[in-house]
Amino acid sequence: MNIILLGPPGAGKGTQAAHLVETRGMIQLSTGDMLRAARTSGTEMGNIVADVMDRGELVTDEIVIGLIREQLETAEGNGFIFDGFPRTLAQADALGALLEEKGESLDAVIEMQVDDDTLVQRVVNRGKEAAAAGQPVRADDNEESMRTRLMEYYKKTAPLIGYYYAKGQISSIDGLGAIEEVQGAIAGVLEG
């Protein structure tokens, strides 16, 4: 089973993906994690994307599609969770083509709905909590970058909701509740 977790920054996609990895043996493909790893290891690509990411803008389709293509060629597991990908219509088309090449399909797109004030609050708190615990703080977990990330989401990623709706693949859930409640809602979609 291959699924997309779709939603604005701070909606809880990464947290929910981690749970699905643990409980169902699925493979999480997070382009954000891949890009951060490329930065940490100082690859040429990592250096190119660093400033764009810190500002909260999207990196190019070419780069992220390349990362996903590489993973789909090698990763094996009980289905993929696409977390933070696709973020544009071009990425969505590319994902459809890549899955088709593999003889696979997309089984569900789960849209996690959270209101904007909560999103900004969550992400700013995530930055502060990491700092207080001496953990690395994401350079984009601050209010200014977060506003840009939200704007990018509404301009470029939210159109995917209509795109997958037209394909009959989207299920929207409330992402505001406790982590366990959201886990339950996702399980309901996957088992329903």
The contact set with ligand AMP (CB under 6 A) reads: 9, 31-32, 35, 52-53, 56-59, 64, 84-85, 87, 91, 140, 149
Tell me, yes or no, if 122 is annotated catalytic.
no
Of the two residues 126 and 188, which places its CB atom closer to ligand AMP in the complex? Answer: 126
- Clarify whether 87 is annotated catalytic: yes
Most distant CA atoms of the chain, gap in Å: 47
**Residue placing its CB nearer to ligand AMP in the complex, 80 or 85:** 85
What Rg, from alpha-carbon coordinates, does the chain have?
16
Taking CB atoms, the residue at the shortest distance from ligand AMP is: 32
Helices marked H in the chain? 13-24, 31-40, 44-55, 61-74, 89-101, 116-132, 143-152, 159-166, 179-191
CB-based burial of residue 177 (10 Å sphere; 0-12 exposed, 13-18 middle, 19+ buried)?
middle
Catalytic residue among 13, 36, 39, 156: 13
Length of the chain: 192
Catalytic residue among 24, 55, 122, 126: 126
User: Residue 24 — φ and ψ, nearest 5°?
Assistant: -120, 0
Confirm whether 126 is a catalytic residue: yes
The residue annotated as part of the active site, out of 36, 39, 149, 156, is 149
User: Which residue lies nearer to ligand AMP by CB, 111 or 140?
Assistant: 140
Active site residues: 13, 87, 126, 138, 149
